[in-house]
Amino acid sequence: MQRLRLSLAVIAIAVTGCTSSVSSTASPPSTGLTAHGHIHGTFTLTAGPVPPCMGQSPCPSGYFQVEKNAAITVTRPDGTVAATSATNASGEFDFDVSPGTYTVSAPQQEEPGRYSATVTVNNGATVNVSLQITEP
């Protein structure tokens, strides 16, 4: 039993010694990853008063709809496209991008609204964007 304890102690010292020498001389592994931020947003349609209600109480004062499968583009200040995607069934979109300034845009419609937004993305941060079609 005494011999087993001594053997285990020697092994523990040897392992600790190897680990220490390896970690002190080895350089940290390169992950190859670049810094990223995140853009999250929604694209919706809102409208003014709805036609007269038919037996509903209370009568809704406006209309709200998510824009599904809408093309969203993220552009750099020099005009190059950084990313494109379509909104999901909830009208949401997400992009992982390098830190910097971008214009997030949806295709312009005939109705008034907010079809683009300029955002600054910082490393590790999420920027929220709301794009919207507004009907009178």
Q: What is the CATH number of the domain that holds 114?
A: 2.60.40.10
Lowest mean pLDDT among 29-33, 42-46, 112-116: 29-33
Maximum distance among all Cα pairs of the chain, rounded to whole angstroms: 92
pLDDT at 13 over 50: no
What pLDDT does 29 receive? 38
- Domain containing residue 69: 37-135
Query: Is residue 129 a part of any domain in this protein?
Result: yes
Residue type, 81: V
pLDDT at 25 over 50: no
In the DSSP assignment, the letter for residue 67 is -
Mean pLDDT of all residues in 5-18: 37
Query: Is residue 20 a part of any domain in this protein?
Result: no
Q: Between 43 and 59, where is the model more confident?
A: 43
Neighbouring C-beta atoms of residue 88, cutoff 10 Å: 14
* 15 SS3 class: helix
Query: Is residue 8 a part of any domain in this protein?
Result: no
Query: Is residue 27 a part of any domain in this protein?
Result: no
Query: Is residue 57 a part of any domain in this protein?
Result: yes
pLDDT at 74 over 60: yes
Q: Between 58 and 135, where is the model more confident?
A: 135
pLDDT at 6 over 80: no
What pLDDT does 7 receive? 37
Q: How many folded domains does the chain comprise?
A: 1
* 112 SS3 class: coil
> What would the pLDDT profile of 78-107 be if each residue is shown by its tens digit?
999 999 999 999 999 999 999 999 999 999
Query: Is residue 17 a part of any domain in this protein?
Result: no
**Average per-residue pLDDT in the chain?**
76
What pLDDT does 33 receive? 55
Residue 92 · residue 42 · CB < 8 Å: yes
Query: Is residue 7 a part of any domain in this protein?
Result: no
